[in-house]
Copies of this chain bind each other. A is one copy, B any other.
Amino acid sequence: MNTLSYGLLSLLAQSSFSGYDLMLRIQPFWPAKHSQIYPLLAKLEQEDYIRFELVSQRDKPDKKVYSLTGKGQEALKDWFDQPAAEPALRDEMMLKVFCMSYAKRESARKMLADRLAYHGEQRQKYESKLAELKERAEWPEAGLPEPSHPLFGAYLLTRKAIMSNETNTEWCKWALSLLPEGD
């Protein structure tokens, strides 16, 4: 049982999902291709951490909808109390920044502008996600969910993503301001 496996169980605690859904939902927090997810789900099912139900759909191919078993819920609780590994960020752009003073000015600016645009796109996705969460679970007046709400975690994560997005956007703009156009 590796970290990704527990992550899948963690998502299934909230609700049942297909493998395809799980892939899309875990992506922002633990990048993984479907070729990694599907074999893991098969293994977790064989070992009785999860089970699935075949669901036919009209407009789309059939799917397997997975849910937690009792054993899966137990494993999840044990995992939660273990100390978490340090976060690991791998960002090619940050490696490029090391040699930025040796690059052409226009190249350096393009690199930062590309990243700024990327953050802009990501920002929209996170805002959509937040809107989707608010629809799925209308939490009370002030716009804040209760800690006991199944979507509480998803809300915290989406807020975290937006906060990080804002900081990264700010950094890009600041770095660009230090590199005026035209060398």
Q: Which residues of A come within 8 Å of B, CB atoms?
A: 3, 6-7, 9-11, 13-14, 26, 29-31, 76-77, 79-81, 83-103, 105, 107-108, 111, 114-115, 118, 144, 147-154, 156-157, 159-160, 163-164, 166-168, 170-171, 174-175, 178-179
Contacts and interface: CB of A to CB of B under 8 A. Distances in A.
Contacts of A10: 95-96, 98-99
A105 B18 CA distance: 29
A101 B152 contact: yes
Contacts of A164: 164, 167-168
Given A7-B92, A10-B95, A29-B91, 20 more contacts: A10-B96, A13-B102, A14-B99, A14-B101, A29-B94, A30-B91, A31-B88, A31-B89, A76-B102, A80-B103, A84-B92, A87-B92, A87-B94, A89-B89, A98-B153, A98-B157, A101-B152, A147-B178, A156-B175, A164-B168
Contacts of A163: 167, 170-171
A132 B96 CA distance: 21
Contacts of A178: 144, 147, 156
27 contacts: A10-B95, A10-B98, A11-B98, A11-B99, A13-B99, A14-B99, A30-B90, A30-B95, A77-B102, A77-B103, A80-B99, A81-B107, A84-B92, A84-B114, A84-B115, A94-B157, A99-B153, A100-B153, A100-B156, A101-B148, A101-B150, A101-B151, A101-B153, A102-B150, A156-B175, A159-B171, A163-B171
B80 A96 contact: yes
